[in-house]
Chains A and B, each alone.
Chain A
């Protein structure tokens, strides 16, 4: 049964993965991190990813027409040399968690990484 460490190791095993973090976007805390984050500090990256997530979650445009409980599944940021995949984790108790994967654009495959990250997020809470 996977815990946080296994989940992050699984994310780092995705082709092209540079860094993976489990972030509580309610507070901006990185509950766990692996790899070398884009800013060199996982704590900084977690706080900044939190701002992006909150902006999306609290916007009418992205959430008004969606399911109320978990309106968003993931956020993908495409940069020149990398992707950022931010996957929402749905827990039975109230939490605000995302899995943040930083992916090399040349080495990684966005579609495959997205599916894998979805599976990892589900395994983390469903066992």
Chain B
């Protein structure tokens, strides 16, 4: 495997990248081969193209294939153990007809974009490290242009904020609100109903994604949709450190998030949530979330926190064993701008006055009137 990093001058001669996207662009320019470790996961590059991504927030190919029963976890470990060091796992999966070429490509690209979103959308700062000449155990399947990847990450971030601009939901344990169990308030779509049924107040969106074998972004988006519909919320006193399962990648972003997590949603929103009337719960006023999105635009500009991004093709990294990427010790760098994020729960759409008389309310009113008439 060739790499351009060996001939590149030390990074001190370059302007230090200020965002994960800039670090990735720099590595792409150098046609680098190796692994970029960030607080929320890893990107694998070959000749400047992204060939794989992993994040504790997103189920990987192994989770998908073992979760659906196509391959047993034991069989999978054996495959990675035997064929990982030579980066042939993908090839062997297809050769042995465990999965088809199409399934491998679909699963690989889906999980790559999914994990890359969490790795690159993280603007919480923290320590980034590049290790050259490592090889991913899966082997060559499909590559993604880093610029396209960054565009997609940005698109997804905007999409989430258009759905419901409350980023804390993405890392907090979520639970259904009481009335969501009533048949009349069941959300549309099998996937969202299942999600609601498995949200127990302890599982975060990442836990739910792994449990249900779904993409991390898909679950994150559905959780925000359910919250926007007033069917799901996150208890305010949540501890986000549980969001990262036993991961080898330490996160320097946790403390600021933890600090902000304690922030209680504004009284207006809470009062509105408590005082919601029946029937209006899953209704949304057209444009309600757009108003919220406009607010969040200002919020996000104010919260871009950039930590030290270090792209160092260190000679010491060469000693790292190829095969399953094992991150070395990563110094949890001081996250710049660790002030609490001023993100807050947007006012639920249901808190807006209904523009159309609600049939449920009309019915309840009639029942009440009848009962009162009989007193």
A interface residues, Cβ below 8 angstroms from B: 1-4, 7, 24, 26-29, 31, 43, 47, 57-60, 63, 68, 71, 89, 91-97, 123-127
Distance A125 CA – B104 CA, assembled complex (angstroms)? 9
Q: Separation in Å of the A73 CB from the closest CB of chain B?
A: 16
Binding-face segment, B13-21, B64-72, B299-307? B64-72
Tell me the bound Cα distance from A31 to B101 in angstroms: 15
Question: Which residue of B101, B217, B221 contacts A2 across the interface (Cβ within 8 Å)?
Answer: B101
Q: Which residues of B contact A92 (CB under 8 A)?
A: 68, 70, 99, 103
- A93 near B155 with CB under 8 A, answer no
- Kindly report which residue of chain B lies nearest to residue A4, judged by CB atoms: B105
Q: Does B294 make an interface contact (CB < 8 A)?
A: no
**Is there an interface contact between B109 and A27, defined as CB atoms closer than 8 Å?**
no
Q: Give the distance in Å from the alpha carbon of A11 to the alpha carbon of B132 in the complex.
A: 39
Q: How far is the CB of A48 from chain B (nearest CB, A)?
A: 12
Query: Taking CB as reference atom, which chain A residue is nearest B100?
Result: A127
Q: Which of B113, B151, B190 contacts A27 (CB 8 A)?
A: B113
A26 with B70, Cβ < 8 A, contacts A4-B106, A58-B188 known: no
Kindly specify which of B208-216, B276-284, B346-354, B362-370 makes contact with the partner chain. B208-216
Binary flags per residue of B39-74, CB closer than 8 Å to A gives 1, else 0: 000000000000000000000000011011010000
In the assembled complex, which residues on chain B have CB atoms less than 8 Å from the CB atom of A29? 113, 152
Tell whether, in the assembled complex, residue A126 and residue B100 are in contact, meaning their CB atoms are under 8 Å apart.
yes
11 contacts between A and B (CB under 8 A): A1-B102, A3-B102, A27-B113, A27-B159, A31-B110, A57-B189, A68-B190, A93-B107, A125-B102, A125-B103, A126-B100
**Other-chain contact of B189, A24, A47, A58, A95 (Cβ < 8 Å):** A58
Nearest A residue to B151 via CB reads A43
The residue that A31 contacts in the complex, of B70, B100, B103, B109, with Cβ under 8 A, is: B109
Structural contact, B217 and A26, CB atoms closer than 8 A: yes
Q: A26-B221, A31-B106 are in contact. Are A125 and B215 (CB under 8 A)?
A: no
Asked if residues B101 and A94 are in contact (CB atoms below 8 Å), the reply is no
A95 contacts which of B110, B142, B217 (Cβ < 8 Å)?
B110
Q: Let me know if A123 and B70 touch, CB within 8 A.
A: no
Chain B residues in 8 Å Cβ range of A28: 155-156, 159
Chain B, residues 319-330, CB within 8 Å of chain A (1/0): the string is 000000000000
